[in-house]
């Protein structure tokens, strides 16, 4: 089957297999590294970036703890 498909495309078997594997790798990486949002969620995300809420006490505490770890003096 692979040999026939490679021949139809005018490729060597090795080239056909490498090309197919490369395509599969691209799809896998795209599916795991690209975040797709609906239009509504895109608008919510943009609004959160443009109008961030006030920091919570937990975030303030975490920033303080991080500053102490980075520069304890």
With 80 as the cut, is the pLDDT of residue 3 above it?
yes
Please state, rounded to an integer, the average pLDDT across all residues of the chain.
Answer: 94
73 pLDDT above the threshold of 70: no
Question: Which residue's entry shows tokens 């021949």?
Answer: 7
Q: What is the pLDDT of residue 64?
A: 94
**DSSP characters over 29-69:** HHHHH-----HHHHHHHHHHHHS--PPPHHHHHHHHHHHHH
C-beta pairs of 52-55 under 8 Å, 24+ apart in sequence: none
Q: Cα dist. 63→9, 22, 38, 51, 69 in Å?
A: 58, 43, 32, 20, 10
Say which residue, 49 or 73, is predicted with more confidence. Answer: 49
Per-domain residue ranges of the chain: 2-70
Instruction: Write the pLDDT tens digit of every residue in 15-44.
Output: 999 999 999 999 999 888 888 899 999 999
């Amino acid at each position: 089957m692979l040999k026939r498909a490679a021949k139809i495309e005018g490729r060597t078997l090795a080239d056909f297999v490498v090309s197919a594997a490369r395509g599969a790798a691209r799809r896998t990486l795209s599916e795991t590294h690209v975040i797709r949002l609906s239009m509504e969620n895109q608008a919510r995300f943009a609004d959160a970036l443009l109008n961030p809420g006030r920091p919570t006490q937990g975030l303030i505490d975490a920033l303080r703890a991080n500053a102490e770890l980075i520069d304890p003096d």
